[in-house]
Amino acid sequence: MKKIKLAVIGAGARGFLSYMPYVQRFPHEAEVVAVAEPNDERRTRFAEAFNLTPEQIYSTWEDLLNGPKLCDALLICTQDQNHYLPTVAALRKGYHVLLEKPMSNNPIECIEMERIAREERRLLSICHVSRYIPFWKKIKQLIHEGFIGNLMSIQHNENVGYLHYAHSFVRGNWRNDVLSSPMILAKSCHDMDLIRWIADADCKRVSSFGSLGHFRVENAPAGSTNRCTDGCEVESTCPYSALRFYMKDPTLNHFAALITDPPTETNRMNAILNGPYGKCVYRTDNNVVDHQTVNMEFENGVTVIFSMCGFTRDINRTIQIMGTKGEIRGDLLSGCIDLFEFSSGTQSIIHTPTSDGGHQGGDDGIMQQFLSDLRNERYMNTLTSAEASLESHLMAFAAEESRRREGAVIDMKLFRQSLTTTSPNGTQHVQTS
């Protein structure tokens, strides 16, 4: 087995905690030869984990990519707005790339990255880890094998979880679309990708509704303060208390481990006192929606209703899929699929494997597939390649356009045709299909 050499750009939660455990467990498959990370603590932690020498450690992606080619592929796990430039530079340099989702918060950049990957004949794989989860793979298989006949309609719910929403999208890195991406892209591009994969056709029309309805200053309780530590009179009963949430043992609450490096009690308290994670959830600079629905019609006639909500008990996804010969109901958290066939009246309960690994095993799954694709020189039209991912990204951009236009119906063919890219040499490229 050929050992793939990798470098990582962005050694945070995704670049280090999500994808590197696979490399550590299967060192015969891959070897890490470099890291680029601006944060001193993260850079040092990563370098120690992989025994990197000073010559293999970089503060910026520019430093890494300005030197000679180091390895076969890069993992690019920077923040949303910092995906395009390192990805394009890496592809032009001859690297294959595993890119954290979303591709970019700009549709033009998404189109251009996919085009350059094709032009350079490099694998650009997007981290749509859900496609590698046994639960979703089984649902795809049941539909493909005809158990419910012709697919007609899908109802898909993304239950973000009230504490996850408050951590990531009110106080955290994805709280403001100017700093990151709209919610439909930052969180729900997984769902757009799954929906298109299951529907197995291009999207024809999209409309969307949603807003930031609750986490606003006018909804702040009487007696609350700018920070949870400023003498807030309702802190002890607030479901979003930073003190109660982040001072838990990080082994019991993984979000607590993400607000500072290293997550000692002293460092976490300092982060609460001085950083964004200690702010009152009603008084931050957040602007992304806390609930949103998207209606979709596909070219094969399949209709879809998607709902994302930040006010749920669990972090989970549930789905109902209706066909001409049967119905599928699924619950990702339990791994349970309920298949009902009309002709026989037979109900089958299918239990898919669940995993303690990230994204129910999806993080391991995509690493395994990416390395396999590289070993076997499968660079185009892979399961989560940029070609496969681009359309679902455009669906997300169209949904956000609709939401901002008060639910206007967006014709996807016209939307695609409206997007034009300009390459560095000045040549225009128009997305027409």
Q: For residue 169, give the nearest of 80, 62, 284, 334 by alpha carbon.
A: 284
pTM above 0.95, yes or no: no
Are the C-beta atoms of 126 and 192 separated by less than 8 Å? no
- Domain membership flag for residue 20: yes
Cβ-based neighbour number of residue 417 at 10 Å: 13
Distances (CA, A) of 259 to 21, 49, 246: 20, 20, 8
Residues 274 and 372 in one domain: no
- Domain membership flag for residue 201: no
C-alpha 23/C-alpha 26 separation (Å) is 5
The H or E element containing residue 30 is: strand 30-36
Domain boundary among 236, 256, 278: 278
Residues 27 and 118 in one domain: yes
Domain boundary among 262, 278, 294: 278
Cβ-based neighbour number of residue 247 at 10 Å: 15
Angle at 19 between CA 170 and CA 162, to 5 degrees: 25
Residues 272 and 366 in one domain: no
59-90 pLDDT tens trace = 999 999 999 999 999 999 999 899 999 999 99
Angle at 147 between CA 143 and CA 151, to 5 degrees: 50
Cβ-based neighbour number of residue 285 at 10 Å: 12
Q: What is the pLDDT of residue 354?
A: 78
Residue 333 DSSP SS3: coil
- Tell me the sheet residues that pair with 230: none
294-303 pLDDT tens trace = 999 999 999 9
C-alpha 146/C-alpha 338 separation (Å) is 15
- Domain membership flag for residue 378: yes
* DSSP code string of 115-175: HHHHHHT--EEE--GGGGSHHHHHHHHHHHTTTT-SEEEEEEEEE--HHHHIIIIIISTTS
In the structure encoding, which two tokens stand for residue 287, read together? 């602007």
- Domain membership flag for residue 24: yes
Q: What is the pLDDT of residue 384?
A: 94
Residues of the chain whose pLDDT is less than 50? 422-426, 430, 432-433
C-alpha 192/C-alpha 397 separation (Å) is 10
- Domain membership flag for residue 304: no
- Domain membership flag for residue 292: no
Residue 225 DSSP SS3: coil
The H or E element containing residue 417 is: helix 412-417
In the structure encoding, which two tokens stand for residue 289, read together? 């929606």
Are the C-beta atoms of 82 and 20 separated by less than 8 Å? no
215-259 pLDDT tens trace = 999 999 999 999 999 999 999 999 999 999 999 999 888 899 999
Residues 273 and 377 in one domain: no
C-alpha 45/C-alpha 241 separation (Å) is 30
Are the C-beta atoms of 124 and 117 separated by less than 8 Å? yes
Q: What is the pLDDT of residue 421?
A: 55
Domain boundary among 370, 385, 400: 385
What is the maximum span of the chain, computed from C-alpha positions, in angstroms?
A: 66
- Domain membership flag for residue 263: yes
- Tell me the sheet residues that pair with 203: 298
Are the C-beta atoms of 121 and 115 separated by less than 8 Å? no
- Domain membership flag for residue 227: yes
Number of domains in the chain: 2
In terms of residue numbers, what domain contains 239? 217-278
